[in-house]
Amino acid sequence: MAIKIISGNAYKEFSEKICKYLNLKLSETIIKKFPDSETYLKCIEKVRGDDVFVIQPTSRPVNENLMELLIIIDSLKRSSVKKIHVVMPYYGYARQDRRSSAREPITAKLVANLLTTAGAERVITVDLHSPQIVGFFDIDVDHFEAYPLFAQHFAKKNLTDVVIVSSDTGFTKRARKFAKLINAPLAIIDKRRDEHSKASVANVIGNVKDKTCIMLDDLIDTAGTIVAGIDALHENGAKEIYVAATHAVLSNNGAKLLNDSPAKEIIFTDTVPIPKDKMYDKFKIISITELMAQVIQRIHDHKSLGELFSWEDKVNVKVN
């Protein structure tokens, strides 16, 4: 049973890097649009009986990339593959994971249902907006977190007087894990959300005066709320401000807002592609492609993923 890697159009560069680590070639496919914008897909290579991994983040354009992913899965299901694994480094619609008022959908659950119905048997993803989304699935989900990679990055900087800052109260649990890993205290940005993608900072909980602050978040979209948090830290006397976020969604002028903020450096992973016109000097990218390649190989070989989940055992980070 061979490994086959199939990529959608969302992020082929990411898929090619994974294949390089695995010493494999991307399986050849035809993906094209009909005149009415419907998507057509065909796998050129035979995949019968193979262990197939489909790589496709559902980032912008979200609906198009999601539909393309579902079509790829359906094509494979009808081709008698051994097993279909979906590698979604970024899970679109994850922020719609609950009903905050009447007559709202839970779209994160709908996407889970669509993937399962299409034929996916496992989903591999990174930093879901809410870890509880794993429970929306009735198939295997391997959910990885990026904070140990951020810890390794900051360990090389020899920073002093470090405080980890949770971007909001809902992110506190993950920020606390990061703070524990690097032996630093925790502060919290207390935000009030008035509408979608807009929030105001009500308070900074914790001492940040004359401290090096590292603000942690799962994604940055329009950047309005994260910049409000950066400004609040700056106004409360922070010495330096760093931002670490897994997914660089960066809608509208979010990238410029970040670059113009008082933050010294903004670190992302490469779970979604960042257009060249949105890459600023303050932005640093940490790749997760080697990790994803290791995950794919271990799953194919029926080996434990425990070591990959327990990254903190491999990270020996202490800040002053």
29 neighbors 304 (Cβ within 8 angstroms): no
163 neighbors 213 (Cβ within 8 angstroms): yes
CB atoms within 10 A of CB 186: 18
Three state DSSP letters for 7-42: ECCCCHHHHHHHHHHHCCCCCCEEEEECCCCCEEEE
157 carries an active-site annotation = no
Question: Residues 33, 191, 211, 318: which is the catalytic one?
Answer: 191
Nearest Cα neighbor of 227 from 269, 189, 195 is: 189
> In whole angstroms, what is the distance from residue 288 CA to residue 184 CA?
24
- CA dist list (Å): 239 to 23, 55, 176, 186, 233: 45, 41, 21, 16, 9
> In whole angstroms, what is the distance from residue 123 CA to residue 113 CA?
12
Q: Which are the contacts of 1, defined by CB distance < 8 A and separation ≥ 6? A: 49, 50, 51, 82
Element (H, E) at 107: helix 107-118
Amino acid making up residue 69: L
φ, ψ dihedrals at 257, nearest 5°: -60, -45
Q: Which residue has the tokens 């619609």?
A: 93
Q: Is the dihedral of CA 204, 205, 209, 210 positive or negative?
A: negative
Nearest Cα neighbor of 153 from 315, 278, 309 is: 315
Residues with a catalytic annotation lie at 191
